[in-house]
């Protein structure tokens, strides 16, 4: 079956139509042409499949997004345009970018031994994709799943696992474990970890010799987790304790 119009719709037009933005003249075309309606349905189905199984594969890396928020001039003009266009289209990356710019504006207390000229990067730790069968209502990030051993987040360099346990009162215990993707490349003992609520630090703890940390007596609510590494801040955004 072929298009019944002389002015046929291109694949580029179909890709824009999948987003739901249909101009009036194209709407009339689709109402009249069965071939184009069928083709649009096929493209929409493929797009839905790609979004479901290739979730965020085209997103900038956490490091690139942090660098773009802090110093976009490090990218070429073409790369800046590409990342900005992606931010306009991707709600998840736009949310991370807005959080990064907000956190970059917050004062950071540096250890007295640290060189004040050191550049501190801010990196978003993203939730590692999991299968729907492992879902649990205990904790969630962007509606994502909970692994049996906890929520697993990652940056380019580290893995972080969070777990939640209800205490005897209405509060919770939030524990975490951090490890380097490169064995023995990073030392985490002594690193400060902040639990933030509405931008304010609610609790601060320190990573122990076993690379674990614990927050006790955490009330139900929405939180950010911030780890202060020597050369970077790692953020875990929107941790729901409920």
**Its pTM surpasses 0.85:** no
Let me know: does 131 contact 143? Beta carbons within 8 Å: no
Instruction: Let me know whether 130 and 198 are in one domain.
Output: yes
Instruction: Let me know whether 237 and 127 are in one domain.
Output: yes
Instruction: Let me know whether 84 and 195 are in one domain.
Output: no
Instruction: Let me know whether 159 and 225 are in one domain.
Output: yes
Instruction: Let me know whether 45 and 125 are in one domain.
Output: no
Instruction: Let me know whether 177 and 214 are in one domain.
Output: yes
Indicate whether 2 belongs to any domain: no
Indicate whether 215 belongs to any domain: yes
Instruction: Let me know whether 163 and 217 are in one domain.
Output: yes
Range of the domain at 87: 58-105
In this structure, what CATH number is given to the domain that contains residue 216?
2.60.40.10
Instruction: Let me know whether 177 and 155 are in one domain.
Output: yes
- How far apart CA 129 and CA 62 sit, in angstroms, is 15
Q: How many C-beta neighbours within 10 Å does residue 115 have?
A: 7
Q: Is 124 or 56 the better-scoring residue by pLDDT?
A: 124
Q: Is 24 or 178 the better-scoring residue by pLDDT?
A: 178
How confident is the model at residue 75, as a pLDDT? Answer: 86
Instruction: Let me know whether 62 and 146 are in one domain.
Output: no
DSSP per residue over 75-143, as a string? Answer: S-HHHHHHHHHHHHH-HHHHHHHHHHHHHHTS--PPPTTS-TTPPPEEEEPEEPP--GGG--SSEESTT
Q: How many domains does the chain have?
A: 3
What DSSP character marks residue 150? B
Instruction: Let me know whether 166 and 235 are in one domain.
Output: yes
Let me know: does 126 contact 62? Beta carbons within 8 Å: yes
Indicate whether 31 belongs to any domain: yes
Let me know: does 173 contact 218? Beta carbons within 8 Å: yes
- What average pLDDT does the segment 202-208 reach? 93
pLDDT tens, 156-192?
A: 888 888 988 888 788 899 999 998 877 556 778 899 9
- How far apart CA 205 and CA 198 sit, in angstroms, is 18
């Amino acid at each position: 079956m072929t298009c019944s119009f002389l002015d046929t719709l291109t694949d580029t037009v179909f890709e824009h139509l999948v987003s739901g933005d249909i101009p009036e003249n194209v709407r009339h075309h689709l109402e009249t042409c069965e071939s184009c309606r069928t083709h649009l349905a096929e493209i929409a189905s493929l797009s839905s499949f790609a979004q479901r199984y290739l979730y965020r594969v085209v997103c900038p890396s956490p490091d690139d997004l942090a660098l773009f928020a802090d110093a976009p001039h490090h990218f070429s003009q073409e790369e800046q345009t590409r990342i900005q266009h992606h931010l306009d289209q991707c709600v998840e990356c736009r949310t991370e970018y807005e959080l990064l710019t907000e956190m970059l504006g917050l004062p950071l207390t540096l250890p007295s031994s640290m060189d004040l000229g050191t550049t501190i990067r801010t990196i978003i730790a993203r939730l590692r994709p999991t299968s729907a069968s492992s879902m649990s209502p205990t904790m969630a990030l962007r509606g994502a799943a909970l692994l049996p051993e906890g929520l697993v987040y990652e940056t380019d360099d580290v893995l972080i696992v969070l777990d939640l346990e209800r205490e005897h009162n209405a509060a919770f215990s939030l524990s975490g474990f951090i490890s380097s993707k490169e064995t023995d490349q990073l030392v985490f003992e002594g690193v400060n970890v902040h639990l933030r609520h509405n931008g304010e630090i609610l609790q601060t703890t320190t990573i122990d010799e076993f690379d674990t940390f614990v927050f006790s007596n955490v009330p139900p609510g929405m939180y950010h987790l911030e780890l202060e590494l020597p050369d970077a801040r790692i953020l875990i955004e929107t941790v729901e304790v409920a």
